Amino acid sequence: MSSPSDRWLPWYAYLTALATLGLVCLGGLVTSKGVGMSVPDWPTSFGYNMFALPVSQWFHGGVFDEHTHRLWASMVGLMVVFLTRWLGGRAARRPLAIIGATEIFLGIALLGLGPDWRGAGHFLAGIGGVVVLAAVVWHQGEAREAPLPALGWLAFWAVQLQGLLGGLRVVLDQWTLGNVTLGLLLGLVHGCLGQAFLVLLGVIALRVSPFWSRLVRSGSAQVPHRLAAWVTAGTVLIVLQLILGASMRHQHSGLAIPDFPTAYGRWWPALDDAALLRYNQNRIEESTVTAFQIVLQLLHRLGAVGVLVAVAMACRVGTRCGTLPRVVMRGLRCWLGLICIQAGLGAATIWTNKAADVATAHVAIGALSLLIGTGLILVLRKLSVPVRVRDFRETAAPLAQPFAR
């Protein structure tokens, strides 16, 4: 008989993954609106403790969007720390207490080094306090089966790294690394890690769900090799698409090509100096566009076609197989539907001159598509060792003969 703790853990994992999806959407909104520096200090907000910023200062420029993003990120960090404790059981209590105490000590030490280190000191000390609280808040519970405790620890360190990257994005905004602005580079890494972090929490939620247990107990089914290959290819292409999209967003070059489906009236635009000069003279935005940014968007468009083909082929192979569990087929169809919506949102982003709500929806659907693709890979691997479609039909044919009449 399962304990109340076992029954509530899946719901808590779902809630944490859902909160992380919300955080990814907020991050996309901040980037789409270009208000990432509306609060110019960190971890304080205009000199105030982040949680004590007067409401009267929330509604100037993009402060509301950026400050809400910070508060939401703090909530997700808190939830992940307690998820790590829950997954690790008693064994996680002592390591968390040691880590938390160490972070508090280092934070206090940084506070003594002067005002330049005060922000990092408050950040570390605050995290350490939360970690110590998670270590002592309850005493019972066994660790979940592997690899859940390890995944919990991975999420624990990832959320702290993600928070640090977000803060450094503000603090080091004007620093340069060669010809690259460090703030731009950190923002790109921060955005990509956010997507990976969402997938990690989605994997944890899947593995603690009752569905995963029933899938294990149901025995194995033969999965066509081509289906597993197409699902993997589609997911890998989505990852590449998200990296390209994040690079375009953080360079604010989402409108490097202002028309769709053509590019400057052609299927492949000219990229010589004269053409670039002409493009920039006719641009509505103040920033200039480079040949690299144009090629980046062209690759993003070609990648979208590749994703659509891969996911459509996965659905086709899955439908022809005929023996997959109904939930898998629903997942494949849902995945294809999301990709079609994503393609439409990509076109609408250009047609609406990168309206913030449309661009944010584009980010959200991309994250969900990656999440579903990763989940399908895990489910298919759990169901069986892949076999080729032809071999599967040859195996199934003798079994079908007695029913041919």
- For the stretch 222-274, pLDDT in tens is 677 899 999 999 999 999 999 998 888 877 777 888 889 999 989 999 999 99
The better pLDDT of the pair 60, 25 is held by 25
Whether residue 369 is predicted with pLDDT greater than 60 in this model: the reply is yes
The better pLDDT of the pair 49, 332 is held by 332
The pLDDT score that the predictor gives to residue 393 is: 47
The pLDDT score that the predictor gives to residue 403 is: 36
**Mean pLDDT, rounded, for 354-379:** 93
The pLDDT score that the predictor gives to residue 390 is: 45
Percent of the chain predicted with pLDDT > 90: 41
Q: Closest Cα partner for 26 from 70, 61, 77?
A: 70
Q: Closest Cα partner for 2 from 10, 204, 212, 152?
A: 10
The token duo for 84 is 């790590």
The pLDDT score that the predictor gives to residue 216 is: 58
Q: Quickly tell me which residue has 């891969």 as its tokens.
A: 310
The pLDDT score that the predictor gives to residue 364 is: 92
The better pLDDT of the pair 85, 51 is held by 85
Whether residue 387 is predicted with pLDDT greater than 90 in this model: the reply is no
Distance CA 242, CA 195 (A): 8
pLDDT band per the 50, 70, 90 thresholds, residue 172: confident
Distance CA 371, CA 358 (A): 20
**pLDDT tens per residue across span 127-171:** 888 899 888 876 557 778 888 999 999 999 999 899 888 888 888
Decide: residue 118, CB within 10 A, 0-12 exposed, 13-18 middle, 19+ buried. Answer: middle
The pLDDT score that the predictor gives to residue 391 is: 44
Long-range (24+ apart) CB contacts under 8 A made by 279-288 are: 283/258, 284/255, 284/258, 284/353, 285/252, 285/255, 287/252, 287/253
**Mean pLDDT, rounded, for 369-374:** 96
The pLDDT score that the predictor gives to residue 389 is: 44
DSSP state of 143: P
Distance CA 398, CA 388 (A): 17
pLDDT mean across residues, the chain: 84
pTM: 0.86
**Mean pLDDT, rounded, for 107-131:** 81
Q: What backbone torsions phi and psi does residue 3 show, to the nearest 5 degrees?
A: -80, 160
Whether residue 394 is predicted with pLDDT greater than 80 in this model: the reply is no
